[in-house]
Chains A and B, each alone.
Chain A
Amino acid sequence: ETGVTQTPRHLVMGMTNKKSLKCEQHLGHNAMYWYKQSAKKPLELMFVYSLEERVENNSVPSRFSPECPNSSHLFLHLHTLQPEDSALYLCASSQRQGAWADTQYFGPGTRLTVL
Protein backbone atom coordinates (compact mmCIF):
# COMPACT_ATOMS: atom_id res chain seq x y z
CA GLU A 1 0.00 0.00 0.00
CA THR A 2 2.72 2.52 -0.78
CA GLY A 3 1.20 3.85 -4.03
CA VAL A 4 -0.92 6.50 -2.26
CA THR A 5 0.03 7.65 1.21
CA GLN A 6 -1.90 9.84 3.62
CA THR A 7 -0.88 11.63 6.80
CA PRO A 8 -1.84 11.77 9.54
CA ARG A 9 -3.67 8.47 9.85
CA HIS A 10 -5.65 9.70 12.84
CA LEU A 11 -6.58 13.27 13.81
CA VAL A 12 -8.61 14.64 16.70
CA MET A 13 -9.42 18.32 16.57
CA GLY A 14 -11.65 20.86 18.24
CA MET A 15 -14.16 22.91 16.31
CA THR A 16 -11.96 26.01 16.43
CA ASN A 17 -8.74 24.32 15.28
CA LYS A 18 -7.10 24.53 11.88
CA LYS A 19 -5.45 21.41 10.54
CA SER A 20 -4.41 19.94 7.20
CA LEU A 21 -4.55 16.47 5.70
CA LYS A 22 -1.82 15.46 3.28
CA CYS A 23 -1.90 12.98 0.41
CA GLU A 24 0.98 11.91 -1.80
CA GLN A 25 0.84 9.56 -4.76
CA HIS A 26 3.85 7.69 -6.12
CA LEU A 27 2.15 6.27 -9.22
CA GLY A 28 2.88 9.01 -11.74
CA HIS A 29 -0.82 9.83 -12.00
CA ASN A 30 -2.28 13.14 -13.17
CA ALA A 31 -5.59 13.20 -11.29
CA MET A 32 -6.26 13.24 -7.56
CA TYR A 33 -9.44 13.05 -5.51
CA TRP A 34 -10.75 13.64 -1.99
CA TYR A 35 -13.57 11.45 -0.68
CA LYS A 36 -15.46 11.42 2.62
CA GLN A 37 -16.59 8.08 4.08
CA SER A 38 -19.13 8.13 6.92
CA ALA A 39 -20.61 5.11 8.65
CA LYS A 40 -23.46 3.47 6.72
CA LYS A 41 -23.13 5.95 3.84
CA PRO A 42 -21.53 5.61 0.42
CA LEU A 43 -18.23 7.27 -0.32
CA GLU A 44 -18.90 10.90 -1.19
CA LEU A 45 -16.71 12.62 -3.74
CA MET A 46 -15.55 16.02 -2.46
CA PHE A 47 -12.98 17.38 -4.91
CA VAL A 48 -11.27 16.38 -8.13
CA TYR A 49 -7.98 17.78 -9.41
CA SER A 50 -6.54 17.16 -12.85
CA LEU A 51 -3.03 18.41 -13.60
CA GLU A 52 -3.23 20.57 -10.47
CA GLU A 53 -6.43 22.24 -11.62
CA ARG A 54 -9.67 21.75 -9.71
CA VAL A 55 -12.26 20.29 -12.04
CA GLU A 56 -15.00 19.45 -9.57
CA ASN A 57 -16.17 20.81 -6.26
CA ASN A 58 -19.06 18.64 -5.16
CA SER A 59 -20.98 21.25 -3.12
CA VAL A 60 -18.56 20.95 -0.22
CA PRO A 61 -18.77 23.53 2.62
CA SER A 62 -16.11 26.21 2.57
CA ARG A 63 -14.65 24.97 5.87
CA PHE A 64 -12.94 22.37 3.65
CA SER A 65 -10.31 23.92 1.41
CA PRO A 66 -8.30 21.76 -1.02
CA GLU A 67 -4.88 22.53 -2.42
CA CYS A 68 -2.95 20.73 -5.15
CA PRO A 69 0.54 22.24 -5.56
CA ASN A 70 1.67 19.57 -8.06
CA SER A 71 0.42 16.33 -9.54
CA SER A 72 1.89 14.23 -6.71
CA HIS A 73 0.56 16.11 -3.68
CA LEU A 74 -2.89 16.99 -2.47
CA PHE A 75 -3.91 18.74 0.74
CA LEU A 76 -7.20 19.26 2.51
CA HIS A 77 -7.18 22.26 4.83
CA LEU A 78 -9.71 22.12 7.64
CA HIS A 79 -11.04 24.97 9.78
CA THR A 80 -14.00 25.49 12.11
CA LEU A 81 -15.29 21.98 11.50
CA GLN A 82 -18.45 20.53 13.00
CA PRO A 83 -18.84 17.21 14.85
CA GLU A 84 -20.74 15.81 11.85
CA ASP A 85 -17.56 16.22 9.80
CA SER A 86 -16.05 13.31 11.72
CA ALA A 87 -15.37 10.61 9.15
CA LEU A 88 -12.69 8.74 7.22
CA TYR A 89 -11.19 11.02 4.58
CA LEU A 90 -9.78 9.15 1.62
CA CYS A 91 -7.46 10.34 -1.09
CA ALA A 92 -7.32 8.63 -4.47
CA SER A 93 -5.43 9.07 -7.72
CA SER A 94 -5.86 7.95 -11.31
CA GLN A 95 -3.73 8.13 -14.41
CA ARG A 96 -5.97 10.52 -16.27
CA GLN A 97 -9.07 12.45 -15.36
CA GLY A 98 -12.03 12.01 -17.65
CA ALA A 99 -10.62 8.97 -19.40
CA TRP A 100 -12.71 5.91 -20.07
CA ALA A 101 -13.19 3.98 -16.81
CA ASP A 102 -9.80 5.08 -15.45
CA THR A 103 -9.13 3.15 -12.24
CA GLN A 104 -8.84 5.11 -9.01
CA TYR A 105 -6.36 3.90 -6.40
CA PHE A 106 -6.97 4.84 -2.79
CA GLY A 107 -4.78 5.73 0.14
CA PRO A 108 -5.31 4.34 3.64
CA GLY A 109 -7.33 7.34 4.80
CA THR A 110 -7.26 9.77 7.70
CA ARG A 111 -9.68 9.05 10.52
CA LEU A 112 -10.89 12.48 11.65
CA THR A 113 -12.72 13.11 14.91
CA VAL A 114 -14.12 16.57 15.61
CA LEU A 115 -14.90 17.27 19.25
Chain B
Amino acid sequence: EDQVTQSPEALRLQEGESSSLNCSYTVSGLRGLFWYRQDPGKGPEFLFTLYSAGEEKEKERLKATLTKKESFLHITAPKPEDSATYLCAVRDGGATNKLIFGTGTLLAVQP
Protein backbone atom coordinates (compact mmCIF):
# COMPACT_ATOMS: atom_id res chain seq x y z
CA GLU B 1 0.00 0.00 0.00
CA ASP B 2 1.27 3.46 -0.92
CA GLN B 3 2.30 5.40 2.15
CA VAL B 4 3.97 8.67 3.14
CA THR B 5 5.42 9.31 6.60
CA GLN B 6 6.73 12.68 7.69
CA SER B 7 8.97 13.41 10.66
CA PRO B 8 9.15 15.06 13.03
CA GLU B 9 5.49 15.93 13.64
CA ALA B 10 6.55 19.28 15.05
CA LEU B 11 9.82 21.19 15.10
CA ARG B 12 10.73 24.35 16.95
CA LEU B 13 13.80 26.28 15.79
CA GLN B 14 15.49 29.50 16.74
CA GLU B 15 15.87 32.03 13.97
CA GLY B 16 19.02 31.13 12.02
CA GLU B 17 19.11 27.52 13.27
CA SER B 18 19.22 25.27 10.21
CA SER B 19 17.51 21.87 10.17
CA SER B 20 15.84 19.27 7.95
CA LEU B 21 12.40 17.74 7.60
CA ASN B 22 12.02 14.14 6.48
CA CYS B 23 9.52 12.48 4.17
CA SER B 24 9.71 8.69 3.82
CA TYR B 25 7.60 7.02 1.18
CA THR B 26 6.61 3.68 -0.26
CA VAL B 27 4.87 3.79 -3.60
CA SER B 28 4.61 1.49 -6.58
CA GLY B 29 6.22 3.50 -9.32
CA LEU B 30 7.00 7.03 -8.13
CA ARG B 31 5.77 9.62 -10.59
CA GLY B 32 6.74 12.69 -8.62
CA LEU B 33 7.26 13.81 -5.04
CA PHE B 34 5.75 17.16 -4.06
CA TRP B 35 6.42 19.58 -1.22
CA TYR B 36 3.78 22.07 -0.14
CA ARG B 37 3.67 24.75 2.53
CA GLN B 38 0.43 25.36 4.40
CA ASP B 39 -0.26 28.35 6.61
CA PRO B 40 -3.05 28.19 9.24
CA GLY B 41 -6.50 28.54 7.69
CA LYS B 42 -5.14 28.45 4.13
CA GLY B 43 -4.72 25.92 1.37
CA PRO B 44 -1.40 24.24 0.58
CA GLU B 45 1.01 26.33 -1.47
CA PHE B 46 3.17 24.46 -4.00
CA LEU B 47 6.93 24.54 -3.38
CA PHE B 48 8.73 21.80 -5.33
CA THR B 49 8.37 18.71 -7.47
CA LEU B 50 11.13 16.08 -7.55
CA TYR B 51 11.05 13.28 -10.09
CA SER B 52 14.10 11.06 -9.63
CA ALA B 53 16.66 10.05 -7.02
CA GLY B 54 19.53 12.50 -6.77
CA GLU B 55 17.47 15.46 -7.88
CA GLU B 56 17.67 18.67 -5.84
CA LYS B 57 15.71 21.93 -6.02
CA GLU B 58 16.14 25.21 -4.16
CA LYS B 59 14.00 28.20 -3.38
CA GLU B 60 15.31 30.92 -1.11
CA ARG B 61 16.13 29.22 2.23
CA LEU B 62 14.60 25.88 1.23
CA LYS B 63 16.28 22.98 -0.53
CA ALA B 64 14.56 19.70 -1.35
CA THR B 65 16.40 16.47 -2.08
CA LEU B 66 15.23 13.01 -3.13
CA THR B 67 16.49 9.46 -2.71
CA LYS B 68 14.77 6.19 -3.62
CA LYS B 69 13.10 5.98 -0.22
CA GLU B 70 12.87 9.48 1.19
CA SER B 71 13.03 13.19 0.63
CA PHE B 72 14.46 15.92 2.80
CA LEU B 73 13.48 19.55 3.02
CA HIS B 74 16.48 21.47 4.28
CA ILE B 75 15.86 24.86 5.82
CA THR B 76 18.91 27.09 6.03
CA ALA B 77 18.98 30.02 8.48
CA PRO B 78 15.19 30.04 8.89
CA LYS B 79 13.21 33.17 9.67
CA PRO B 80 9.95 33.47 11.62
CA GLU B 81 8.04 33.82 8.35
CA ASP B 82 9.09 30.26 7.47
CA SER B 83 6.79 29.03 10.23
CA ALA B 84 4.12 26.81 8.67
CA THR B 85 3.13 23.20 8.15
CA TYR B 86 5.16 21.52 5.42
CA LEU B 87 3.38 18.74 3.53
CA CYS B 88 4.92 16.01 1.44
CA ALA B 89 2.98 14.05 -1.18
CA VAL B 90 3.76 11.42 -3.77
CA ARG B 91 1.93 10.68 -6.95
CA ASP B 92 1.18 7.00 -7.34
CA GLY B 93 1.59 4.98 -10.49
CA GLY B 94 -2.12 5.02 -11.33
CA ALA B 95 -3.85 6.98 -14.04
CA THR B 96 -5.76 9.51 -11.98
CA ASN B 97 -2.95 11.79 -10.76
CA LYS B 98 -3.79 10.80 -7.19
CA LEU B 99 -1.57 12.35 -4.54
CA ILE B 100 -0.81 10.47 -1.32
CA PHE B 101 -0.12 12.98 1.44
CA GLY B 102 1.74 12.73 4.73
CA THR B 103 0.41 14.34 7.90
CA GLY B 104 2.92 17.18 7.71
CA THR B 105 5.57 18.77 9.90
CA LEU B 106 4.57 21.84 11.88
CA LEU B 107 7.55 24.19 11.91
CA ALA B 108 7.79 27.08 14.36
CA VAL B 109 10.70 29.50 14.04
CA GLN B 110 11.18 31.77 17.01
CA PRO B 111 12.90 35.18 16.73
Query: How many residues from A make CB contacts under 8 Å with B?
Result: 30
Contact bitstring B16-60, A, C-beta under 8 A = 1, else 0: 000000000000000110101000011111100101000000000
Let me know if A43 and B87 touch, CB within 8 A.
Answer: yes
**How many inter-chain contacts with C-beta < 8 Å in the A-B complex?**
68
A90-B43, A106-B44 known; A101 and B51 CB under 8 Å? yes
Using C-beta atoms within 8 Å of the partner chain, give the interface range for chain B: 20 to 34
Q: A31: which B residues are within 8 A, CB to CB?
A: 97
Q: B102: which A residues are within 8 A, CB to CB?
A: 42
CB distance from B109 to the nearest CB of A (A): 22
User: Residue A66 at the B interface, CB < 8 A?
Assistant: no
Stretch with Cβ within 8 A of B (4 or more), from A14-22, A70-78, A79-87, A107-115: A107-115
Which of A4, A42, A104 has the most B CB atoms < 10 Å from its CB?
Answer: A42
Let me know if B46 and A48 touch, CB within 8 A.
Answer: no
Contact bitstring B92-107, A, C-beta under 8 A = 1, else 0: 0001111111111000
Let me know if A101 and B31 touch, CB within 8 A.
Answer: yes
A41-B103, A43-B87 known; A97 and B46 CB under 8 Å? no
User: Residue B4 at the A interface, CB < 8 A?
Assistant: yes
Q: How far is the CA of A105 from the CA of B34 in the complex (A)?
A: 11
14 chain-A/chain-B pairs, Cβ below 8 angstroms: A1-B42, A1-B43, A1-B45, A4-B43, A6-B43, A42-B100, A90-B43, A97-B97, A98-B97, A101-B51, A104-B97, A108-B42, A108-B43, A109-B42
